[in-house]
Amino acid sequence: MANVLYINSSVRNSGSLSRQLSAEFIAKWKAANPSDTVVERDLAANPVPHLTEQMMGAFFTPAEARNADQAYTVKTSDTLVAEVQAADVIVIGAPMYNFSVSSTLKAWIDHIARAGVTFVYGANGPEGQLKGKKVYVFTAAGGVYSEGPASAYDHLSTYLRAVLGFLGMTDVTFIQAEGVAMGEQAVADTLAKSRKSIDDLVAA
């Protein structure tokens, strides 16, 4: 039995391919693994707060030294960290906004990337503490960024691979729906390709 954490970061409830495809994956995962537990966090419906000076101060204050306000301030971050720590599998719906992640997904990452908690500094430099997890990232983009002349603009998959890896999550698979602004046939083609990937991944 595995714990699955399902993160949605699209601001759209309808018409979002990252939501649609990640939801299809979760449904097929549940069917194939009925004993698994799925925890869903929708960052559009329930956005986490962006970092503030007060939050940063609380993060860097030892738990035993925090005052009541600081202890309250870190509760959200502690909850998000605990969800990731408990997860064996993480599924992220991540549409491309202006060549990168949504601000809500960035805020979530800022809360789970905690020095001394999810990564530590040792003799050989930083070491991620969230190891041994499988991550599936469902992206959607109007253009094609996985290859070709626009690949240099892809700060979505490159950023996520880097920051997840920094935290110790190096087993990351991307399922990319691309060219969705290039007409109906392009959408149909990328959906078919993504669904084939979903079937293959669930069956693996």
Look at residue 92 in the predicted model and tell me its pLDDT: 98
* Residue 174 annotated in ligand binding: no
* Residue 98 annotated in ligand binding: yes
Look at residue 173 in the predicted model and tell me its pLDDT: 98
* Residue 10 annotated in ligand binding: yes
Look at residue 104 in the predicted model and tell me its pLDDT: 96
Q: What is the pLDDT of residues 38-68, one digit of tens each?
A: 999 999 999 999 999 999 999 999 999 999 9
* Residue 17 annotated in ligand binding: yes
* Residue 9 annotated in ligand binding: no
**Bigger pLDDT: 122 or 173?**
173
* Residue 35 annotated in ligand binding: no
* Residue 16 annotated in ligand binding: yes
Q: What is the pLDDT of residues 146-176, one digit of tens each?
A: 999 999 999 999 999 999 999 999 999 999 9
* Residue 169 annotated in ligand binding: no
Q: How confident is the model at residue 14 (pLDDT cuts 50, 70, 90)?
A: confident
Query: What's the pTM?
Result: 0.95
- Tally of CB atoms within 10 A around 54: 11
Domains along the chain with CATH numbers: 3-203 (3.40.50.360)
C-alpha to C-alpha distances, 24 to 11, 28, 143, 168, 198, nearest whole angstrom: 18, 6, 22, 27, 8
